[in-house]
Amino acid sequence: MRHEWSSRLTFILAAVGSAVGLGNIWKFPYITGEYGGGVFILAYLFCICLIGVPIMLAEIGLGRRGKHSPVNTMLQLSREAGAHPAWSLLGWSGMAAGCLILSYYSVIAGEVMAYSFRASSGMFNQQTADGIKGIYTSLVSEPEKLLAWHTIFMSLTVLSVAKGVRDGLEKTVVFLMPALFVLLILLVIYAVNSGGFDQAVDFMFTPDPDKFFYARNDIGHYLMDAQGDKIFTWKPMMVAMGHAFFTLSLGMGAIMMYGSYLNPHVSIGQMTLIIVSLDTLVAILAGLAIFPLVFANGLDPAAGPGLIFETLPLAFGNMTGGALIGTLFFILLFFAALSSAISLIEPSVAWLIESKGVRRIKATVWVGTIVWFIGIGSIFAFSGTSLHDILQILFRWFGIEHVELSQTFLKYNFFTVIDFFTASIMLPVGGLLIAIFAGWVMHQDTTEREFSFHNRHVYPVWQVMVRYVSPFLVLMVFLNIIGIFKF
């Protein structure tokens, strides 16, 4: 028999475990920094409310109705609604997105593990900003080290998933999530007194549209076109929307998978509100902990993916009990990453078990190995290999020696490409299809019953959102990036 979550609380914990992770604490601060602060956060919150919430309701609902892995859930639901079975492609692209995301997620989680050891050894004590930056540079410039940590993290993910998702998750999340939350608050309190708090609040909450809408170079200067005008860019909007999906684990079937274990009497609306509020709160707290350190130490908010590793250790190195608090923080962040990693891999594992009759252990090892391999590309990226280098190697393989490659390839690497492709394209497209399926393809009485909203005014509102508002907004962002509209 297919089991369900043992209680409503377990579902919330598992879903929060999936949602809260590196996306909130590692990614949100550095992309906020990169895209200029205030307006980026506004755009992100806007997407969370108008796109994230309705689509999360839809995704949980589809999962609970389908009761299978995303591919089979979509097959079953399309049969039920008399729609084309090609809707199951949604499940396939979700599995692909999950594996691609996990491939770099695991490398970063590996860095987090490495940092818990560095914190405990007292390495951060009394360091200057330059010293802390040096520690990070020395870690990422050794691909062997990153590979070792990536291997350890993937093995732990495989072990947890092989045991069966629910047993492990229930215990980890009950204790560790609240503990992480408490430590974050501690860090914010430290940050309030660090000297950069006002500037950080200003950066995060005062909108500066220029920084968001106009392209800037690596050192923050605006790029100019031939007429000397600033160059408009829609990419930050794309990243903000993509991050709303990423941070809520939407658009790739993770939440659908967890919804499939949910018992039919629970109100999906309440669940969604709790998950979304906690996830957003954690991200904002992470920003409030990190940006004051950035400004108090004269660092660059647009430092990129290394941002948390170059800022938080400064706090740990200077507070009393910092070695202990730092170690605990990175260990808890590791568990938050693990509970997200589990949900990234579970749709693929569940599909192999259901459709191919593979045993859970074997299925997990297979998927884990593929993901591990792809992750090697990101290891090279973090240690400095650009897309330019990779293309040159490829050309040389084919015997072409001297090619002039555009300088823009120097700016991108395997990680940035995979990240943009998954978070900013695959997840929003997945979410768009989920919204259309739940809003237009499924029968109304099915969705109405399935969502069991306690308040009868909620259903029509949700329906308008999922039919018109969310798809329209996602499409707008896409059409703008291809340049069809000029917003």
Q: Does 103 bind ligand PHE (CB under 6 A)?
A: no
Q: Does 339 bind ligand PHE (CB under 6 A)?
A: no
- Transcribe 1-14 into DSSP letters: -----SSHHHHHHH
Question: Smallest gap, in angstroms, from Cβ of residue 252 to ligand PHE?
Answer: 5
Q: Does 160 bind ligand PHE (CB under 6 A)?
A: no
Q: Does 297 bind ligand PHE (CB under 6 A)?
A: no
Query: Measured between alpha carbons, how far is 37 from 106 in angstroms, rounded to an integer?
Result: 27
Query: Which of 246, 414, 415, 437 is in the footprint of ligand PHE by CB under 6 A?
Result: 246
Query: Measured between alpha carbons, how far is 262 from 336 in angstroms, rounded to an integer?
Result: 21
Query: Which of 13, 15, 19, 473 is in the footprint of ligand PHE by CB under 6 A?
Result: 19
Question: Smallest gap, in angstroms, from Cβ of residue 20 to ligand PHE?
Answer: 6
Query: Which of 21, 29, 322, 431 is in the footprint of ligand PHE by CB under 6 A?
Result: 21
Asked whether 111 and 149 are in contact (CB, 8 A), the reply is yes
Query: 101 or 139, CB closer to ligand PHE?
Result: 101
Structure tokens at 277: 């509020």
Grouping H, G, I as helix, E, B as strand and the rest as coil, residue 173 is helix
Query: Measured between alpha carbons, how far is 122 from 228 in angstroms, rounded to an integer?
Result: 50
Query: 251 or 326, CB closer to ligand PHE?
Result: 251
Question: Smallest gap, in angstroms, from Cβ of residue 459 to ligand PHE?
Answer: 27
Query: Measured between alpha carbons, how far is 255 from 16 in angstroms, rounded to an integer?
Result: 10
Q: Does 470 bind ligand PHE (CB under 6 A)?
A: no
Question: Smallest gap, in angstroms, from Cβ of residue 260 to ligand PHE?
Answer: 15
- Ramachandran area for residue 251 (φ above 0: left; ψ -120 to 50: alpha; else beta): left
Query: Measured between alpha carbons, how far is 428 from 422 in angstroms, rounded to an integer?
Result: 9
- Contacts of 406 by beta carbon, 8 Å cutoff, 6+ apart: none
Query: Measured between alpha carbons, how far is 239 from 44 in angstroms, rounded to an integer?
Result: 9
Q: Does 106 bind ligand PHE (CB under 6 A)?
A: no
Query: 299 or 341, CB closer to ligand PHE?
Result: 341
Asked whether 91 and 253 are in contact (CB, 8 A), the reply is yes
- Transcribe 202-247 into DSSP letters: HHHHS--HHHHHB-B-TTSPBPB-TTSPBPB--HHHHHHHHHHHHH
Query: Which of 10, 172, 249, 272 is in the footprint of ligand PHE by CB under 6 A?
Result: 249
Q: Does 24 bind ligand PHE (CB under 6 A)?
A: yes
Question: Smallest gap, in angstroms, from Cβ of residue 357 to ligand PHE?
Answer: 26
Mask of contacts with ligand PHE, 253-282, x by CB under 6 A? -x----------------------------
Q: Does 340 bind ligand PHE (CB under 6 A)?
A: yes
Q: Does 32 bind ligand PHE (CB under 6 A)?
A: no
Which region among 16-24, 184-192, 198-206, 222-230 touches ligand PHE (by CB under 6 A)? Answer: 16-24
Q: Does 247 bind ligand PHE (CB under 6 A)?
A: yes
Question: Smallest gap, in angstroms, from Cβ of residue 431 to ligand PHE?
Answer: 11
Query: Which of 17, 23, 269, 287 is in the footprint of ligand PHE by CB under 6 A?
Result: 23
Which region among 159-167, 245-253, 268-276, 352-360 touches ligand PHE (by CB under 6 A)? Answer: 245-253
Q: Does 345 bind ligand PHE (CB under 6 A)?
A: no
Q: How far is CA 303 from CA 29, 274, 307, 374, 416, in A?
A: 10, 32, 6, 25, 14
- Which amino acid makes up residue 246? F
Asked whether 302 and 128 are in contact (CB, 8 A), the reply is no
Which region among 17-25, 155-163, 210-218, 324-332 touches ligand PHE (by CB under 6 A)? Answer: 17-25
- Which amino acid makes up residue 161? V
Asked whether 108 and 306 are in contact (CB, 8 A), the reply is no
Query: 296 or 433, CB closer to ligand PHE?
Result: 433
Identify the CA nearest to 313 among candidates 128, 452, 458.
128
Q: Does 284 bind ligand PHE (CB under 6 A)?
A: no
Grouping H, G, I as helix, E, B as strand and the rest as coil, residue 112 is helix
Query: Measured between alpha carbons, how far is 294 from 291 in angstroms, rounded to an integer?
Result: 5
Question: Smallest gap, in angstroms, from Cβ of residue 401 to ligand PHE?
Answer: 41
Q: Between vectors from CA 190 to CA 187 and to CA 193, what angle results, nearest 5°?
A: 150
Question: Smallest gap, in angstroms, from Cβ of residue 168 to ligand PHE?
Answer: 16
Q: Which of residues 82-101 bind ligand PHE (CB under 6 A)?
A: 101
| Residues lying near ligand PHE in the complex (CB under 6 A) | 18-19, 21-24, 101, 246-247, 249, 252, 254, 340, 343-344
